[in-house]
């Protein structure tokens, strides 16, 4: 049995790559130093895998920014706007494509970025034009192979497959489909494979994750013809074809007939497909199977007993030399090493496995499945015990929470009355003007505010001092909002580090790591909370500050919460119960908070759900089930209040077209969305659907320090006014203002209020 992983984290154990890249961008270190950091990370990754006993160690899985950007450069797929950058200065070109470049001679924007399947990782979107030319430009894949060879390691180079590469990109002009470029792209693959073969490479891992998507016939045919063409030209080269994040689904027949050496299966996301494959009439005993048993997307210890059963099943049809044990996907989406964690409760820690521990699991499974009565048996016992402890742990199981979930009633997910009735009552209670102005929640998080939080967390300032500082900041933000004449105020979120972490820290069922970083994009890393157990709310989480803010003013202040789907989506979530159950538990905790806020005099409460859309499953046929439970969880969180209490929700960076009926189903009294950059284009979905409730299309792009003028804002509101009933329109920025500075924020919000007033006068 062979062992491998599909890819390794690459930011460095302590985020060395992040720090080096940022220092390089700031001209604080030179290219040599950056390259040295990169080499030492790669070396460490490879040697660790070698010492742990991995047979086929990947290379070309390292990247300074993103593996798809690397691929663009490998294939010479470089958009025209970068042509004035000297190609010999590789890193300048590379980072210009990643981040844009602005200096005396050049001013180019970055390439677009989007989410990598259903992960929180973002890749750079390849851009194609109709007569796109490709060439084998960057030799990174060759260089990395040789770099590892110098360390005595013959790696398995990793490369994105041509069909996935094309499908992941987009056409920059109309009149053609990007798959038509395959014929031109393939020769570059042939060049690459020729060079790799000359170096005596045994295996190459080609990733075709598009095989997890609903593909067109044309795309499936492209896959077949590609691998037939490769096999004809390179009969000796062994292709390890990887698909991950979901089942092969209706692409299975195609996949099974490909002339590849090994076919990789994600058995974490799709354990049942092993049966389908072994029973398929297209099952070919000459194609090896790679069993992706170790979860590359989560941080839980593997269940050896279950994995060994799957291995046994496969072993009945295939001799062990035809089987691989591997991770379900690249380990890029998991943190480096659990051994670095010293603060996680030891009971919980024994349930976890980060990247290094996952590699150890791959090796352990190989030994446990291949040797009889072997010296590894203790690992099996250890694993079994840890998983058993987890099941029975008091830390996880909370009977009160479980019984609340079991006793949920249909009415818990419904407001008392329908929107038109609520709207009338809210009008009466709140007496808000037309084109009500508000903001999305956070105000600038200045250096001082951040430093207070940090000092408080480290015990360097007392609760008392800290609370005074936050109270003062809230007070001055309330005074500012009153002064400029906003209609619905916010407290400003100064006490919050992050919109999920803040709630995770206050809820039972979450733990936090110190070094559990995973790459989000480029040098940006996130440290998702670990949601390990039944979620409950020991005490109110936001009431103190919201209530305080409201006590300062007669104008309504919005309570500010993060919604259940977003908390779920941005955490490492327990895998021992359906996500929907976990989501409902969070929803109940938020529901209690909403009711507490209402009882404490908050008349308007916002429940942010920016992550609803990104939770959509990869395969279309799974969308409905997800949207059903996600929308329901939101409704559970929002429905405990009386009709007069106005519930807002907020979403950013979303395409709404294909989920608009579900958004409407959430039944928030008001939704605020991000629309300013698209010139209100994103509003179309709401207009075409005749969205029934109130809506605040963003009229101030908060991603830029630019201050929008009164006229610009007026123009945007007018656009909204031309397509929506004016009684339904709110006026607000695109999103929270925490990344902005006060001076620009103040001017922009003044303009926003003035624009709304002007429109009101003319209405
Ligand atoms: N209330 C949050 C804020 O203003 C919303 C953030 C978000 O949507 N990402 O910061
Ligand atoms: Zn937002």
ipTM of this complex prediction, to 2 decimal places: 0.99
End-to-end CA separation in angstroms for the chain:
75
Which ligand 1 atom is the nearest neighbour of the CA of 442? 4
Q: Are 173 and 129 in contact (CB under 8 A)?
A: yes
Which residue positions form the known binding site? Answer: 15-18, 115, 120, 440-442, 493, 524-525, 570, 608, 614, 650, 652, 665, 674, 735
Active site residue 703: yes
Expressed in angstroms and rounded, the spacing between residue 731 Cα and the centre of ligand 2 is 14
Which residue positions form the known binding site for Zn(2+)? Answer: 650, 652, 665, 674, 735
Expressed in angstroms and rounded, the spacing between residue 624 Cα and the centre of ligand 1 is 26
* pLDDT per position as a tens digit, 189-233: 999 999 999 999 999 999 999 999 999 999 999 999 999 999 999
Closest-lying ligand to the alpha carbon of 740? 1
Task: Provide the pLDDT for residue 597.
Answer: 98
Pocket test for ligand 1, best of 493, 604, 737 (most atoms within 8 A of CB): 493
Pocket test for ligand 1, best of 439, 442, 570 (most atoms within 8 A of CB): 442
Nearest-angstrom CA–CA distance, 604 and 646: 5
Q: Which residue CA neighbors atom 10 of ligand 1 most closely?
A: 736
Q: Which of 657, 658, 650 shows the shortest CA–CA distance to 737? A: 650
The sign of the dihedral angle between the CA atoms of 212, 214, 219, 220 is positive
Q: Which of 285, 325, 250 shows the shortest CA–CA distance to 56? A: 325
Closest-lying ligand to the alpha carbon of 493? 1
Q: Which residue CA neighbors atom 4 of ligand 1 most closely?
A: 736
Nearest-angstrom CA–CA distance, 755 and 715: 9
Q: Are 441 and 606 in contact (CB under 8 A)?
A: yes
Q: Which residue CA neighbors atom 8 of ligand 1 most closely?
A: 610
Closest-lying ligand to the alpha carbon of 503? 1
Nearest-angstrom CA–CA distance, 59 and 46: 8
CA distances from 749 to 106, 606, 624, 718, 743 (A): 33, 19, 39, 17, 10
Which ligand 1 atom is the nearest neighbour of the CA of 738? 10
Pocket test for ligand 1, best of 650, 652, 671, 738 (most atoms within 8 A of CB): 650
Which ligand 1 atom is the nearest neighbour of the CA of 439? 4
Expressed in angstroms and rounded, the spacing between residue 443 Cα and the centre of ligand 1 is 10
Task: Provide the pLDDT for residue 373.
Answer: 63
Cα 21–27–30 angle (5° rounding)? 70
Pocket test for ligand 1, best of 120, 439, 440, 565 (most atoms within 8 A of CB): 440
- Indicate the helix (H) or strand (E) that contains 645: none
Phi-psi region of 60 (alpha: psi -120 to 50; beta: other; left: phi over 0): left
Which ligand 1 atom is the nearest neighbour of the CA of 651? 8
Which residue positions form the known binding site for L-homocysteine? Answer: 440-442, 493, 608
Beta 101-102 vs 107-108: how paired, if at all? antiparallel
Closest-lying ligand to the alpha carbon of 674? 2
Beta 122-124 vs 113-115: how paired, if at all? antiparallel
Q: Which residue CA neighbors atom 6 of ligand 1 most closely?
A: 736
Q: Are 637 and 590 in contact (CB under 8 A)?
A: yes
Expressed in angstroms and rounded, the spacing between residue 231 Cα and the centre of ligand 2 is 48
Measured in whole angstroms, the distance separating CA 591 from the mean position of its chain's CA atoms is 25
Expressed in angstroms and rounded, the spacing between residue 728 Cα and the centre of ligand 2 is 20
Expressed in angstroms and rounded, the spacing between residue 575 Cα and the centre of ligand 1 is 27
pLDDT < 50 positions in the chain: none
DSSP E strand boundaries for 441-512: 508-511
Structure-block tokens of residue 50: 């070698």
Model pTM score? 0.95
The sign of the dihedral angle between the CA atoms of 58, 59, 60, 62 is positive
Which ligand 1 atom is the nearest neighbour of the CA of 560? 1
Q: Which residue CA neighbors atom 3 of ligand 1 most closely?
A: 736
Torsion of Cα atoms, 719 then 725 then 730 then 732, to 10°:
-10
Task: Provide the pLDDT for residue 255.
Answer: 97
Closest-lying ligand to the alpha carbon of 734? 2
Expressed in angstroms and rounded, the spacing between residue 447 Cα and the centre of ligand 2 is 21
Beta bridge partners of 265: 291
Expressed in angstroms and rounded, the spacing between residue 672 Cα and the centre of ligand 1 is 11
Which residue positions form the known binding site for 5-methyltetrahydropteroyltri-L-glutamate? Answer: 15-18, 115, 120, 524-525, 570, 614
Q: Are 499 and 608 in contact (CB under 8 A)?
A: yes
Closest-lying ligand to the alpha carbon of 745? 1
- Within 6 A (CB) of ligand 1 lie 440-442, 493, 499, 560, 608, 610, 650, 652, 735-736, 738
Q: Are 292 and 271 in contact (CB under 8 A)?
A: no
Q: Which of 12, 691, 538, 206 shows the shortest CA–CA distance to 682? A: 691
Expressed in angstroms and rounded, the spacing between residue 734 Cα and the centre of ligand 2 is 6
> Catalytic one among 8, 491, 703, 728?
703
680: exposed, middle or buried (Cβ count in 10 Å: 0-12, 13-18, 19+): buried
Expressed in angstroms and rounded, the spacing between residue 170 Cα and the centre of ligand 2 is 25
Q: Which residue CA neighbors atom 9 of ligand 1 most closely?
A: 610
Q: Which residue CA neighbors atom 1 of ligand 1 most closely?
A: 441
Pocket test for ligand 1, best of 567, 700, 735, 737 (most atoms within 8 A of CB): 735
Q: Which residue CA neighbors atom 5 of ligand 1 most closely?
A: 736
Q: Are 751 and 709 in contact (CB under 8 A)?
A: yes
Nearest-angstrom CA–CA distance, 332 and 58: 12
Which ligand 1 atom is the nearest neighbour of the CA of 562? 1
Which ligand 1 atom is the nearest neighbour of the CA of 496? 10
Expressed in angstroms and rounded, the spacing between residue 652 Cα and the centre of ligand 2 is 4
């Amino acid at each position: 049995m062979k062992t491998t992983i599909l890819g390794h984290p690459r930011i460095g154990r302590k985020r060395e790559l992040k720090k080096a890249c940022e220092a390089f961008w700031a001209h604080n270190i030179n290219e040599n130093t950056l390259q040295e950091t990169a080499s030492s990370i790669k070396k460490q990754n490879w040697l660790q895998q070698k010492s742990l006993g991995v047979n086929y160690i990947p290379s070309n899985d390292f990247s300074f920014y993103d593996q798809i950007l690397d691929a663009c450069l490998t294939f010479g797929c470089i958009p025209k706007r970068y042509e004035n950058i000297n190609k010999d200065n590789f890193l300048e070109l590379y980072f210009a494509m990643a981040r844009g470049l602005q200096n005396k001679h050049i001013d180019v924007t970055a390439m677009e970025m989007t989410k990598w399947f259903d992960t929180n990782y973002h890749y750079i979107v390849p851009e194609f034009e109709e007569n796109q030319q490709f060439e084998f430009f960057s030799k990174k894949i060759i260089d990395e192979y040789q770099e590892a060879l110098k360390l005595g390691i013959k790696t398995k180079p990793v490369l994105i497959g041509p069909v996935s590469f094309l499908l992941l990109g987009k056409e920059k002009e109309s009149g053609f489909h990007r798959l038509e470029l395959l014929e031109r792209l393939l020769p570059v693959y042939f060049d690459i494979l020729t060079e790799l073969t000359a170096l005596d490479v045994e295996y190459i891992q080609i990733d075709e994750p598009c095989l997890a998507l609903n593909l067109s016939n044309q795309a499936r045919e492209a896959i077949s013809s590609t691998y037939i063409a490769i096999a004809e030209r390179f009969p000796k080269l062994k292709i390890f074809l990887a698909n991950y994040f979901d089942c092969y689904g209706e692409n299975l027949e195609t996949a099974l007939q490909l002339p590849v050496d090994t076919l990789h299966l994600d058995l974490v996301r799709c354990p049942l497909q092993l049966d389908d494959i072994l029973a398929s009439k297209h099952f070919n005993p000459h194609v090896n199977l790679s069993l992706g048993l170790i979860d590359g997307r989560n941080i839980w210890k593997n269940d050896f007993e279950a994995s060994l059963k799957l291995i046994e099943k496969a072993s009945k049809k295939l001799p062990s030399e035809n089987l691989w044990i591997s991770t379900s996907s690249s380990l890029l989406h998991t943190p480096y090493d659990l051994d670095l964690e010293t603060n996680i409760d030891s009971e919980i820690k024994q349930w976890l496995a980060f990247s290094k521990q996952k590699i150890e699991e791959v090796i352990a499974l190989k030994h446990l499945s291949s040797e009889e009565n072997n010296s590894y048996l203790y690992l099996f016992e250890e694993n079994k015990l840890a998983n058993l402890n987890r099941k029975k742990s008091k830390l996880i199981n909370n009977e009160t929470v479980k019984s609340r979930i079991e006793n949920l009633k249909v009415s818990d997910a419904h407001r008392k009355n329908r929107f038109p009735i609520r709207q009338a009552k809210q009008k009466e209670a709140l007496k808000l003007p037309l084109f009500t102005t508000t903001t999305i929640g956070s105000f600038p998080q200045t250096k001082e505010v951040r430093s207070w939080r940090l000092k408080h967390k480290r015990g360097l300032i007392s609760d008392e001092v800290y609370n005074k500082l936050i109270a003062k900041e809230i007070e001055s933000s309330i005074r500012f909002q009153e002064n400029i004449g906003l209609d619905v105020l916010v407290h400003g979120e100064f006490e919050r580090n992050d919109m999920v972490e803040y709630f995770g820290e206050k809820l039972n069922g979450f733990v936090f790591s110190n070094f559990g970083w995973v790459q989000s994009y480029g040098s940006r890393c996130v440290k998702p909370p670990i949601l390990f157990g039944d979620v409950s709310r020991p005490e109110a989480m936001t009431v103190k500050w919201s209530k305080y803010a409201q006590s300062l003013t007669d104008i309504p202040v919005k309570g500010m919460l993060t919604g259940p789907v977003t908390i779920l989506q941005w955490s490492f979530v327990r895998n021992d119960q359906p996500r929907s159950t976990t989501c409902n538990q969070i929803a109940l905790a938020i529901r209690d908070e909403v009711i507490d806020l209402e009882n404490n005099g908050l008349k308007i409460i916002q429940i942010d759900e920016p992550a609803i859309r990104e939770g959509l499953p990869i395969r279309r046929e799974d969308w409905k089930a997800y949207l059903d439970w996600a929308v329901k969880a939101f409704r559970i969180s929002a429905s405990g209040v009386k009709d007069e209490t106005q519930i807002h929700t907020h979403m950013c960076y979303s395409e709404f077209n294909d989920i608009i009926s579900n958004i409407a189903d959430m039944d928030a009294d008001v939704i605020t969305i991000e629309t300013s950059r698209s010139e209100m284009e994103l509003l179309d979905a709401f207009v075409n659907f005749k969205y029934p409730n109130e809506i605040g299309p963003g009229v101030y792009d908060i991603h830029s320090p630019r201050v929008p003028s009164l006229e610009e804002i007026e123009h945007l509101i007018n656009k909204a006014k031309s397509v929506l009933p004016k009684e339904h329109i709110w006026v607000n920025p695109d999103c929270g203002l925490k990344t902005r500075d006060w001076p620009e924020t103040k001017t922009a919000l003044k303009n926003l209020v003035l624009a709304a007033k002007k429109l009101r006068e003319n209405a």
